[in-house]
A = this chain, B = another copy of it.
Amino acid sequence: METLSENRCFDGVQGVYRHASGSCGCDMTFGLFLPEEAGDGPVPLLWYLSGLTCTHENAMTKAGAQQWAAEQGIALVFPDTSPRGDNVADDPEYDLGQGAGFYVNATQAPWAPHFRMWDYVAEDLPALLAENFAIDPDRQAITGHSMGGHGALTLAMGLPGRFRSVSAFAPISNPAGSDWGRKQLAAYLGDDETAWARHDASLVMRERGFDGPVLIDTGSADQFIDLLRPEALADAVATRRQPATLRLQNGYDHSYFFVSSFIEDHVAFHAEALWA
């Protein structure tokens, strides 16, 4: 593992690191914020999964999460959103290929060899963090924005016991229920829809749910809301009787101005579960 940068931030350290990922078969870069308390021993960890077109950097510089993580004594990890590199397949559109991993293990050409972001977030990166940093693996939580909200919800429900709490900002909530989402799922996972089910937060919510608190914020003026389909997730939550808080925030859109406006709430929400 290579250190690309370390900057002091709210009495902690915001680092950026690069490592070889076995799952993705390429080098991967991630951001990690460690609060001052990590100097005294392992601290809880909140995962932040980013959305389409983002790298590890967007949330790290724009979401404003470090202040609240520092206040709560919690670490933050910001993974990249896909494998990267000249040898990695790509697509000219923003919603497929590099920057658009969708947190799945692709089974279809040309994506299959590298696009294994589920395994990267579920296995590679946790192992690397446990080995190199003062992180308590028994105290993890997960959040994300847009495509990253989809990843946070599907990983939290798909790995029972791993995360104590899950939240999301404007998550892609029901990709199997829109033409746009069906295009991505088919490209990465093929035409057999049974392989899609575990990557559709509304379907997994209906089948399995989450054993812990759930918080979802979406802007009422989100310009992508028809693609996100928050109504499908709301229906699944209600049908399952899943304890959850779903909020439509008046006038907010899909931008980081929305995320930063509510990140304090989300970090406090996770801190309550992580320190319980």
**Contact yes or no, A258 B66, CB < 8 A:** no
- Select A255's contact among B7, B261, B264, beta carbons within 8 Å: B7
Assess the A8–B67 pair: CB atoms within 8 A: no
Whether A251 is near chain B, meaning CB under 8 Å from some CB there, is yes
Q: Is the CB of B260 within 8 A of A67?
A: yes
Total interface residues in chain A, CB < 8 Å = 23
Known: A61-B61, A62-B62. A8 touches B256 (CB 8 A): no
Residues B64 and A252 in contact, CB atoms below 8 Å apart: no
Least CB distance from A64 to B in Å reads 5
Q: How far is it, in angstroms, between the C-alpha of A11 and the C-alpha of B61 when the chains are bound? A: 21
- Closest chain B residue to A33, Cβ basis: B257
- CB neighbours (8 Å) of A255 from chain B are 7
CA distance in complex: A257, B7 (Å): 7
A61 contacts which of B8, B221, B251, B256 (Cβ < 8 Å)?
Answer: B256
A14, CB-defined interface residue at 8 Å: yes
Instruction: State A66–B253 Cα separation when bound (angstroms).
Output: 16
| A97-121 residues at the B interface, CB under 8 angstroms | none
Verify A257–B8 contact, CB threshold 8 A: yes
* Nearest CB in chain B: distance from A249 CB, A: 8
15 contacts between A and B (CB under 8 A): A7-B258, A8-B221, A8-B252, A8-B253, A8-B257, A8-B261, A10-B260, A10-B261, A11-B261, A14-B257, A64-B67, A64-B260, A66-B260, A67-B260, A67-B261
A interface list, Cβ under 8 A from B: 7-11, 14, 61-62, 64, 66-67, 219, 221, 251-253, 255-258, 260-261, 264
